[in-house]
Amino acid sequence: MVVEKNTRRIESGIETDFSGRMDYGSYLQLDRLLSAQVPVSRPEHHDELLFIIQHQTTELWFKLILHELRAVRRQLRGDDLRSAMKGIARIKHIQHVLIEQWPVLATLTPAEYAEFRGDLGAASGFQSFQYRAVEFLLGNKNAGMLAVFEALPEAHRLLTELLEQSSIYDEFLALLHRRGYPVPEGLLDRDVRQAHVFEPALLPVFKEIYEHAHGNWDVYEACEELVDLEDNFQLWRFRHLKTVERIIGMKRGTGGSSGAGFLRKALDLTFFPELFAVRTEIGTDNG
């Protein structure tokens, strides 16, 4: 037998006959997945495949984030803080992957993107219903966004449901209340269709948790996990903004927005404002 150098021999126990059996490709439905990249530019521009795959993979990660956030919300409602924090830890790793994707898209130069940008029509990341769903679950509710998805019944239904349901922050505050922390009653029966806004009365609650961390360790740790979650989300938004600026400058977005200017305003949005504001209070005597 001739053994070629620099070649790994297939082990005798490795499966090779998949006739009539599920294999890797069929399990992952790779025939559907890998045929879903359909450039619209004519003639087809080389860099459009990058643009499509960047956005498709982002949507797949958003799908997993939504899956995890729903579980986190359910676990918080059931007082299972440990499992909820495990879910947030996973989401944080997903966020790191999403953040690290931006430099790949940033290899697309302004001239290259201009070659096929006009073929996108009005299609825009602004129309990502999964991104809006993530924002809703984190607490940035905006009923006005539903109008964008009126022509997409399933997306509209999902966002309507999430608009009318609690966010993970709502459930975290309710958990704190059940544990005896003095969370204001008004936050427990608030209109969850509205975005959460800064509540000064929460600052003493979080100040107590932070200044006596060892006696409140699990909720203290949960607070820091939520801060990490928002930090990562804001970093993703920032990298999005800078990538857009790098590729199209201050041009208007394909979906009609002001482009980079619109994205910059998103950096002012916050999910858990009290968890950041309390840092100014820690170590000060308010008595």
Is 70 exceeded by the pLDDT of residue 76? yes
pLDDT value of residue 167: 98
- Is 27 within the bounds of a domain? no
CATH code of the domain in which 128 resides: 1.20.58.480
pLDDT value of residue 87: 98
Mean pLDDT of 62-74: 98
Cis peptide before 43 (omega within 30 of 0): yes
Q: Is 234 exposed, middle or buried (0-12, 13-18, 19+ CB in 10 A)?
A: middle
- Percent pLDDT > 70 in the chain is 98
Q: What is the pLDDT of residues 161-198, one digit of tens each?
A: 999 999 999 999 999 999 999 999 999 999 999 999 99
- Percent pLDDT > 90 in the chain is 86
- Is 39 within the bounds of a domain? no
Q: What is the pLDDT of residues 218-268, one digit of tens each?
A: 999 999 999 999 999 999 999 999 999 999 998 988 888 888 988 999 999
pLDDT value of residue 12: 85
Q: Which residues define the annotated binding site? A: 51-55, 113, 117, 240, 254
Is 70 exceeded by the pLDDT of residue 129? yes
- Is 40 within the bounds of a domain? no
pLDDT value of residue 273: 98
User: Kindly report the CA angle at 107 between 102 and 109, in degrees rounded to 5?
Assistant: 120
- 144/150 Cα distance (integer angstroms): 11
pLDDT value of residue 50: 98
C-beta of residue 109 within 8 angstroms of C-beta of residue 50: no
Q: Is 85 helix (H, G, I), strand (E, B) or coil?
A: helix
Mean pLDDT of 201-207: 98
- 246/107 Cα distance (integer angstroms): 10
Is 70 exceeded by the pLDDT of residue 64? yes
Q: What secondary structure letter does DSSP report for 13?
A: T
- Is 84 within the bounds of a domain? yes
Distances (CA, A) of 70 to 170, 216, 252, 273: 13, 25, 34, 21
- Is 227 within the bounds of a domain? yes
**How many structural domains is the chain composed of?**
1
pLDDT value of residue 2: 62
- Is 12 within the bounds of a domain? no
Range of the domain at 82: 47-281
Distances (CA, A) of 99 to 106, 130, 232: 12, 17, 8
Is 80 exceeded by the pLDDT of residue 204? yes
- Is 8 within the bounds of a domain? no
Helices (H), the chain: 24-27, 30-33, 48-77, 81-105, 110-114, 129-138, 153-163, 168-178, 185-188, 203-211, 217-248, 260-266, 273-281
Other Cβ atoms less than 10 A from the Cβ of 134: the count is 19
Q: Which residues define the annotated binding site for substrate? A: 51-55, 113, 117, 254
- 51/215 Cα distance (integer angstroms): 49
Is 80 exceeded by the pLDDT of residue 3? no
Q: Which residues define the annotated binding site for heme? A: 240
Other Cβ atoms less than 10 A from the Cβ of 166: the count is 18
Is 80 exceeded by the pLDDT of residue 286? no
Mean pLDDT of 96-105: 97
Mean pLDDT of 140-153: 96
pLDDT value of residue 1: 55
- Is 10 within the bounds of a domain? no
